[in-house]
Structure formats: structure tokens, C-alpha cells
Amino acid sequence: MSDEVTRSVEAAAWVAAVSAARDEGFDRFDWLDATDDIGRTDTVSVVCQLRARDGAPVRLRTRVPRRGGVLASLAGVFPGAAWCEREAGEGYAVDFGGGDGRRLLLGPDAPEAPLLKDHPLAARAAVPWPGADEPEEGARARRRMVPPGVPDPAIWGERDPSDGQADPEDVATSTSGGRVRRSRDRGAGR
């Protein structure tokens, strides 16, 4: 694998930066996708990888707001990007302006932006997780473990409404699995 180069780009300069990279010789569109930055910043990162003829990749990364983010479409630079934008737009609630806004994968009754990390995986939360066991006497964990992708009940299901909205950092920790944190202890110090 060759060295990866990532360029951070302002959202307003997205299309210009990708065009410039293409003109430098990174003229093959590889992929475009998004990630949710919940717990770090209130943005979604959109990443596009291009390749040069010799195979060297370059990645361009930009950030848009987590809700209602708008980013100009790359379809005018690389027509193939439109397909990836439809997928990323659907999963992460990014509006690729000037692109193809039709839904690609999700049905009409699908939840909005299911790949954002604060979208709870309800089907998983309803199933017992084999990883919750601890070796001792085959018992349930003494420490309460939660599986990746399933929200900590203290953050979601059993959350006391008077605590208000969950802190994005708590949500991020909660959905990455592992040990359930006592969110109350943290809240008291704030």
C-alpha cells in the first residue's frame, strides 16, 4: 500500500479541490463515503478517494453539519461519483446539491439517515448479546457490557427525560460498545 495522502478541504471549495486533484493526475474516481463525527464535532465528514494512473491514491476530506449538511455534487467532475453520493446522502443526511437526489437503497418508510450513530439499532437491542456473558459461572457480566451499535440503555431506553438530551460524546461512547459508563457521575460534574 502506498502512502496515503489526505487533504482537508473547506466545504465551499470541495468541487474545486477535487477538480484540481484530477488535473494533477489523480484522474480516477475510486470511492466517496461519509463518516459521522459524533462525540468529536457536530459534523459529518465526507471523504473522496481518487487514484492516479500509477495507482497512487489521494483522499480529500471535508466536513458538513450533521443535520441538513449541503455539499456540491462531484457529478460534474466524475460522473461516477453520483452513485456514491446517493448512497452517502441517504445514510448520513447530506444533500449533494446539483447531484442525483433519488433514493438508492432505502425504502420510503426507512428512517432518516440510518448510518448516523445516534440512530439506534432497535433490532439488535431486542436480541440477547452472547458477549454479555463473563466467564465466571457463565454469568451475565458483573459490569454491564453493551454490544457495539446498540445504545446504552442509560443513554437511550431508560434515560430519565428530566436529564435532557444525551451528550453527543456519551452517545458516541455508548454506541461503540464495551462497558456502560455511569453517565450520571459525569453529568454531576458539569
Partner 1 sequence: MTATHGRIRLIEDRCTSCMICARECPVWCISIDAHTEPDPASEASRRPRLHNVLDRFAIDWSVCMYCGICVDECPFDALEWNGEHVSPGASLPDLVHQRDRLAPDPGGRPTA
Pick the closer one to partner 1 by CB: 76 or 147: 147
User: Shortest distance, CB of residue 131 to partner 1, whole angstroms?
Assistant: 4
Binding site for partner 1 (CB under 8 A): 127, 129-131, 133-138, 145, 147, 177
Pick the closer one to partner 1 by CB: 98 or 147: 147
Per the DSSP assignment, residues forming a β-bridge with 51 are 28, 57
Q: 133: number of CA atoms within 13 Å, CB side?
A: 7
- CA-based angle 96:93:32, to the nearest 5? 55
Q: What is the 3-state secondary structure (H, E, C) of 161-173?
A: HHHCCCCHHHHHH
User: Shortest distance, CB of residue 138 to partner 1, whole angstroms?
Assistant: 4
Per the DSSP assignment, residues forming a β-bridge with 6 are 59
Pick the closer one to partner 1 by CB: 134 or 169: 134
Pick the closer one to partner 1 by CB: 129 or 156: 129
User: Shortest distance, CB of residue 137 to partner 1, whole angstroms?
Assistant: 5
Q: Closest by alpha carbon to 81, among 44, 43, 115, 33?
A: 33
User: Shortest distance, CB of residue 33 to partner 1, whole angstroms?
Assistant: 18
